Structure 1
Amino acid sequence: MHKKIQLFSIILALITLTGCFFSGSEANRWNVAPEGTTSFSLSRDGRFAIYHSAQQGIVLWDLRQNKKLADFGSQDPHHNTVLTSKISDNNRYAITATAQNFAIWDLAWGQSDGLWSISDGIIRDVDIANNGQKVLLGLSNGKALYIDLGTGRRLEFLAHQEKVNSVALSANGNFALSGGNDYSAYFWDTRSGQIIYQFEHTSRISRVALQRDGKLALTADGGNDAYIWDLSSGEKQAELAVRLRQQNLSSARFSDNGQQLATGTPSRRVELWDTATGSNLGRWEAAPKQDTRPPAAVVYDVAITPDGQVVSGTSAGIAQAWTTD
């Protein structure tokens, strides 16, 4: 009898914990690539998605109209796997990258603007400015590489001592944020290469993000530390109230006004935060890829729609819209 009561108590505790962790509900779902994706990026407003799968290649999708807009096919003649991508802040351009090359796509015309190769490192993350010509790459050799494809100017940012895991570029291309395995993130000027702020952590930085007006930055590490920084002063504004240990962030995006931050993890968690206090405003669990055991999905990207819904895109090939109601 005692064992039955003990078991019941454990089950009740688990149910209660699950109920506390996940809040709100799913508002919409788009199963765009049932075979799964190797990269998945959303536009800032959560309307458009660009993803890559082995079966479909690179695809542009309109989530609002729930229809495919373009089939871009393979990025290169060797059909290499696209591992990371980003849509520009104004929704006009996208960058997709394999380990060794990257391509620029004009989304308005549905065509490629070119393919470029990198020879001195493996590409780990990318970002692109609104003009579709200024790009930022985070490389395995410790470099953050800024390139102006229009002028051919190339700037190697060499402050990092180890792999650069995550990069973010301002919409005008003038400012960059990079974080790496050396426990440091740097906010720097792409015109001069000069460091504006250095943000230090106690473990490897896995994710960085910039608010679109340049007011705030996020740096998050592989432990439990995720910080919001005020870029007008370089001071820490808030620390995210992370509940779980060793919570890596695989994606992050500020709302347009900077008051909220959406994040995703490699273990299906999607969350919304208050950037002033670091408190949690909503938690959801993304759908796993069909027939996977255990259920799995990496949240490759998140966005916040104009009406406040959070949208996630995952390795399961599924986009979902979430509401806190």
Structure 2
Amino acid sequence: MYKKFLSVSLFFSTFALSGCFFFDSEIQRWHLAQQGSTSFSLSRDGRFALVSTKLQGIALWDLQQNKKLADFGSQDQYHNSVITSQISDNNRYAITATTQNFAVWDLGWSQAHGLWSIDDAAIQDVAIANNGTEVLLALTNGKALFIDLTDGRRLEFLAHRDKVNSVALSGNGRYALSGGNDHQAYLWDTHSGQIIYSFKHSSRVSQVALQRDGKLAFSTTANNDSIIWDLTTGKKITQLATKLRYKTLSSVRFSDNGQLLVTGTPSRRVELWRTDNGKNIGSWRAEVQPGARPATAVVYDVAISPTGNVVAGSSAGYAQTWSTD
């Protein structure tokens, strides 16, 4: 009995010293897709959610009002599953993609702007600028493809030597960040295709992100090589102080002021970090689908609300928000 009590005491002592954790601080949850989702995107402020399901297609929700704003239905006539999506930084437009085509949506008018197909590779990830006409695609053929939909201009970024896994685009569409299986992340100019900075990693780059005003960038690999970069110098600021050796990230976003970073994993975990020193300051677990085996969920997207709350959307079809007070 004494040994058991001692081990429990040590556990709670370690837990208390390991950081600020908020496991019991959930404010609200919404079950937006009863059968789970194939893609889930949040607006920058965490208010709007774009949810894709196999049966109902694509739907837009206002979480603040707990109201469905639009049912877009299937992206294409074959009802292919949407695998990735993004809401523009200004909340006006969105892009959704299957492996072979992508669509752009005007969220203000709840209507589609068009559907475009990709013939020579599969789509891995997408990003969209604030004007709703400039998009960026990560492709399995090693290309990051920038397209201006107003005039059809295409720029194929060819620096990667293997599959591109993740892309990010500045709000004005001028700068792109891409990461791939070649262990590289690149910041580049979408007008010229010129590389601004190269970020070398120890293994394949799985996720990238840009801070809203262009001061910071983030890139991560499957073996815990998660780095915050200073875009004024191209130098490393810090690395996330992750405790698990292989913690793959499925989603990431900076706070507007760049002081915080929120991440999600394929195994339910949502975490909050300081960008100046990489320290973990909060951790939560996303809800799982009722009766799901195994009892897990992929955190597809994360956000930080204007009041500082953390918001997440997952493959279980839930949106959740937690307090960090």
TM-score by length of 2: 0.95
Correspondence for 2:56: 56
Structure 1 unpaired stretches of 5+ = none
Matched residues in 1 for 2:110 and 2:313: separation?
21
34 and 197 in structure 1: CA distance in 2 versus 1, 3 angstrom threshold: same
Q: Deviations over 1:255-303 (max 9, x none)?
A: 1111111100000000111111111111111111111122110000000
- SS of 2:209's equivalent? strand
- SS of 2:208's equivalent? strand
Matched residues in 1 for 2:100 and 2:13: separation?
47
292 and 189 in structure 1: CA distance in 2 versus 1, 3 angstrom threshold: same
Q: CA deviation at 1:12?
A: 6.3
| 1:281–1:324 Cα contact (<8 Å) kept | no
Correspondence for 1:41: 41
Q: Is 1:208 matched up with 2:222?
A: no
Question: What is the letter of the counterpart of residue 185 of structure 2?
Answer: A
The CA RMSD measured in Å over matched residues stands at 1.6
Question: What is the letter of the counterpart of residue 245 of structure 2?
Answer: R
Matched residues in 2 for 1:177 and 1:206: separation?
12
Correspondence for 2:312: 312
- SS of 2:115's equivalent? strand
Q: Is 1:275 matched up with 2:275?
A: yes
109 and 322 in structure 1: CA distance in 2 versus 1, 3 angstrom threshold: same
Correspondence for 1:223: 223
Q: CA deviation at 1:324?
A: 2.0
Matched residues in 2 for 1:91 and 1:235: separation?
31
Matched residues in 2 for 1:34 and 1:8: separation?
42
12 and 289 in structure 1: CA distance in 2 versus 1, 3 angstrom threshold: farther
| 2:168–2:210 Cα contact (<8 Å) kept | yes
| 2:254–2:261 Cα contact (<8 Å) kept | yes
Q: CA deviation at 1:151?
A: 1.3
Structure 2 unpaired stretches of 5+ = none
Q: Is 1:194 matched up with 2:197?
A: no
Question: What is the letter of the counterpart of residue 239 of structure 2?
Answer: E
| 1:22–1:285 Cα contact (<8 Å) kept | no
Correspondence for 1:30: 30
Equivalences for residues 134-145 of structure 1 within 5 A? 134-145=134-145
Q: Deviations over 1:3-48 (max 9, x none)?
A: x766666666667777758821111111111210000000000000
| 1:167–1:209 Cα contact (<8 Å) kept | yes
| 1:34–1:290 Cα contact (<8 Å) kept | no
Correspondence for 1:162: 162
Q: CA deviation at 1:192?
A: 0.2
Matched residues in 1 for 2:144 and 2:26: separation?
37
Equivalences for residues 70-89 of structure 1 within 5 A? 70-89=70-89
| 1:21–1:283 Cα contact (<8 Å) kept | no
Matched residues in 2 for 1:22 and 1:58: separation?
36
- SS of 2:46's equivalent? coil
Matched residues in 2 for 1:278 and 1:26: separation?
24
Correspondence for 1:178: 178
Matched residues in 1 for 2:309 and 2:95: separation?
25
Matched residues in 1 for 2:7 and 2:175: separation?
50
216 and 39 in structure 1: CA distance in 2 versus 1, 3 angstrom threshold: same
| 1:86–1:127 Cα contact (<8 Å) kept | yes
Matched residues in 1 for 2:6 and 2:251: separation?
36
Aligned residues: 322
79 and 276 in structure 1: CA distance in 2 versus 1, 3 angstrom threshold: same
Matched residues in 1 for 2:144 and 2:198: separation?
14
| 1:49–1:60 Cα contact (<8 Å) kept | yes
169 and 304 in structure 1: CA distance in 2 versus 1, 3 angstrom threshold: same
| 1:126–1:136 Cα contact (<8 Å) kept | yes
Q: Deviations over 1:211-252 (max 9, x none)?
A: 011100001000111110000100111111111121011000
Sequence identity (%): 64
| 1:22–1:284 Cα contact (<8 Å) kept | no
Matched residues in 2 for 1:236 and 1:146: separation?
26
Correspondence for 2:296: 296
